[in-house]
């Protein structure tokens, strides 16, 4: 999943980067009023006043997030990335913490205690994060302006004339966004807060690939090629001509400016050391990243050791399958066979996409065996956009939104078909679509009665842990009957175990990029291209890759605990509903929730 998705859109209660304007002043006054009202108003209502004020503030401060969520009135704007706006956002985060600390948890209802715990934890994390200058690392090969701007424009509503006027306004705002991004990156250079150089080798090309001589060949203007019938012909002409003009006169020159800056100034001056610990206060920064992404208190050394144990366990299961299929060479030779034999690969992108769609269609009817309640939101399977396909991973998921009228999408990478084996497809589809990311995030979008910040919470340990756990449900859903597909599932599990070793190795133990690649190659059947892209991802997203395996292990632990304590009363469908229909939770809080659920089930 893209930061998953990853876009730079901030989907948690993290520091909003927004306009230092009336929105901030209004919000900070609301916080002050909420604090003053202590003892004078119902505590539950006062708490929800804070939730609602904070959500409104964030949607205005982060209009991209508003577009994602279908929040009205913000589709014409971009976030303000100026240094002044960033400082203003940090001050608002401090006021948020003061407001939530004004509550006495004991005076809240049980449901509101959970809401309070989550909101307070997120507010405290936002303040803790202020000691680390992440605003100077706003762009890399995985996310940032070159990827996020086209993706945002592509998902904008386009049913009415004013929708198109919003798109034109956003197109016209790209030059300011680019200049603000360049200013942040330049300040990062001055302070020595820069990403490693090697993973950024394709970033300038990502930008140049969006510089088109003919405006109408740009993906950013794709919505102006085919209009809905609701747009009158005269308006279509006006809008198209305006889009062509703004692209040619404003967007294209700004993209060229960004391309030259990245190619000639920024990337050449990025650092050679790959670990986050190479930056000022870098080891503490990495420890914070671990805490943020995994939502646990585990340290780097402990995670590294868990990874080594998991690698050894999964490797023994891989050896068992190698023997079952009658392969006479060693495991490394088996990896090579799986990577190179033509029987395991499609010849065309269309065949690959059709293969994924078939898997998803077979998965859909199996869901009722594992869940009592399913979401209504549909999803589709489409190719990764060509302008980023060389530098992104095998697949990712982009959430939908019922409010915005947008389905979820499973993006499959069709670049270099010889690196996209059939044996990995079942596990990957289950992870990205159903019962993985699409099901969990679509459920969250449809939960009634939660404050908005909980519906759209993105605790990576939970979200990615659920995705990996979903892969393990394949056998219960009738998948992995082919031994090679089962090996593919183990390959993906191994991939996530390797991450525990490699991520901590790079950022806490001084591993080189090549050592990380070599460890990966020795233990997984992934192709050279995939391994390189993956390691480069871990380098620029410290800690994020740890969330998958640690989250999966926690979910399996909770399932085993529930099954053991409930015995005949254990119902897998009710257990899964309890996991997903409360929205994403930090793993420590999820543990507590499941213990409460077990107790409630025992009392029935």
Contacts of 575 (CB under 8 A, 6+ apart): 559, 562, 597
- Report the C-alpha dihedral over residues 60, 61, 66, 68, rounded to 10 degrees: 170
Helix ranges, 447-512 (H): 452-455, 460-472, 483-508
First to last CA, the chain: 38
Average pLDDT across the chain, whole number: 94
Q: Please state whether beta strands 379-383 and 408-412 pair in parallel, antiparallel, or not at all (unpaired).
A: parallel
Contacts of 586 (CB under 8 A, 6+ apart): 118, 121, 295, 459, 461, 462
**Cβ–Cβ contacts within 10 Å for residue 562, how many?**
21
Name 271's bridge partners. Answer: 196
Nearest Cα neighbor of 491 from 391, 418, 412, 423 is: 423
Q: Using H for helix, E for strand and C for coil, what is the string for 279-337?
A: CCCHHHHHHHHHHHHHCCCCCHHHHHHHHHHHHHHHHHHHHHHHHHCCCCCCHHHHHHH
Instruction: Return the percent helix, strand and coil in the chain, to nearest 5.
Output: 65, 5, 30
**How far apart are alpha carbons 258 and 256 in whole angstroms?**
5
In this prediction, residue 1 has a pLDDT band, given cuts at 50, 70 and 90, of low
The 10 Å CB-count burial string (b at 16+, else e) for 206-225 is bbbbbebeebeebbbbebbe
Give SS3 for 175.
Answer: helix
Interval 159-211: pLDDT, tens: 999 999 999 999 999 999 999 999 999 999 999 999 999 999 999 999 998 99
Q: What is the pLDDT of residue 527?
A: 78
Name 216's bridge partners. Answer: none
Q: Using H for helix, E for strand and C for coil, what is the string for 253-276?
A: HHHHHHHHHHHHHHHHHCECCCCH
- Counting residues of the chain whose pLDDT is more than 90, the rounded percentage is 90
Q: What is the pLDDT of residue 51?
A: 98
Q: Is the pLDDT of residue 13 over 80?
A: no
Interval 397-455: pLDDT, tens: 999 999 888 999 999 999 999 989 999 999 999 999 999 999 999 999 999 999 999 98
How many CA atoms within 13 Å lie on the side-chain side of 414?
20
Nearest Cα neighbor of 353 from 331, 312, 383, 380 is: 383
**How far apart are alpha carbons 245 and 46 in whole angstroms?**
49
Give SS3 for 418.
Answer: helix
**How far apart are alpha carbons 95 and 101 in whole angstroms?**
10
Interval 469-512: pLDDT, tens: 999 999 999 999 999 999 999 999 999 999 999 999 999 999 99
- Counting residues of the chain whose pLDDT is more than 70, the rounded percentage is 97
């Amino acid at each position: 999943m893209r930061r998953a998705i990853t876009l730079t859109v901030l989907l948690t209660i993290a520091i909003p980067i927004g306009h230092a304007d009336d929105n901030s002043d209004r919000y900070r006054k609301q916080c002050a009023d909420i604090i003053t009202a202590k003892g004078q108003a119902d505590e539950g209502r006062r708490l929800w006043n804070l939730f609602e004020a904070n959500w409104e503030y964030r949607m205005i401060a982060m209009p991209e997030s508003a577009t994602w969520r279908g929040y009205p009135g913000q589709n014409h704007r971009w976030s303000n990335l100026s240094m002044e706006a960033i400082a203003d956002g940090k001050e608002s985060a401090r006021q948020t913490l003061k407001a939530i600390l004004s509550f006495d948890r004991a005076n809240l209802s049980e449901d509101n205690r959970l809401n309070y715990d989550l909101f307070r934890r997120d507010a405290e994390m936002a303040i803790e994060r202020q000691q680390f200058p992440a605003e100077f690392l706003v762009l890399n090969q995985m996310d940032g302006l070159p990827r996020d701007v086209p993706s945002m424009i592509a998902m904008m509503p386009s049913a009415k004339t004013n929708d198109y006027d919003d798109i034109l306004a956003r197109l016209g705002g790209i030059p300011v966004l680019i200049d603000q991004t360049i200013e942040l990156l330049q300040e990062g250079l001055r302070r020595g807060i820069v990403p490693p150089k090697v993973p950024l080798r394709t970033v300038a090309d990502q930008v140049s690939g969006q510089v088109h001589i003919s405006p109408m060949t740009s993906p950013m203007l794709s919505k102006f090629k085919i209009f809905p019938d609701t747009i009158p012909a005269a308006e279509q002409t006006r809008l198209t001509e305006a889009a062509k003009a703004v692209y040619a006169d404003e967007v294209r020159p700004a993209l060229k400016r960004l391309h030259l800056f990245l190619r000639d100034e920024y990337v050449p001056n990025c650092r050679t050391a790959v670990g986050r610990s190479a930056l000022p206060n870098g080891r503490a920064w990495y420890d914070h990243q671990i805490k943020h992404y995994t939502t646990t208190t585990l340290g780097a050394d402990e995670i590294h050791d868990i990874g080594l144990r998991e690698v050894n366990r999964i490797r023994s299961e891989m050896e068992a399958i190698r023997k079952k299929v009658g392969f006479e060479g060693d495991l490394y030779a088996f990896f090579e066979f799986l990577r190179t034999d033509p029987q395991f690969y499609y010849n065309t992108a269309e065949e690959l996409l059709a293969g994924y769609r078939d898997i998803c269609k077979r998965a859909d009817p199996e869901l009722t065996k594992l869940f009592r309640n399913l979401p209504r939101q549909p999803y589709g399977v489409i190719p990764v956009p060509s302008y980023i396909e060389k530098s992104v991973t095998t697949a990712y998921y982009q959430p939908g939104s019922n409010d915005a009228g947008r389905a979820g999408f499973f993006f499959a990478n069709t670049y270099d078909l010889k690196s996209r084996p059939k044996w990995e497809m079942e596990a990957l589809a289950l992870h990205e679509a159903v019962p993985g990311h699409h099901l969990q995030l679509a459920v969250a979008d449809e939960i009634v009665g939660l404050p908005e910040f909980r519906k759209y919470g993105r605790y990576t340990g939970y979200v990615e842990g659920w995705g990996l756990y979903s892969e393990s449900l394949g056998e219960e859903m009738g998948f992995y009957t082919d031994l090679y597909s089962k090996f593919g599932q183990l390959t993906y599990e191994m991939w996530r175990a390797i991450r525990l070793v490699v991520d901590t190795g790079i950022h806490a133990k001084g591993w080189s990029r090549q050592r990380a690649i070599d460890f990966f190659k020795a233990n997984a059947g992934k192709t050279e291209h995939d391994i390189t892209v993956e390691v480069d991802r871990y380098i620029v997203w410290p800690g994020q890759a740890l969330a998958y395996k640690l989250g999966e292990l926690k979910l399996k632990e909770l399932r085993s605990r529930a099954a053991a304590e409930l015995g005949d009363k254990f119902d897998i469908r009710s257990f899964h509903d309890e996991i997903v229909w409360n929205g994403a939770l930090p793993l420590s809080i999820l543990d507590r929730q499941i213990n409460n659920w077990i107790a409630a089930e025992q009392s029935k």
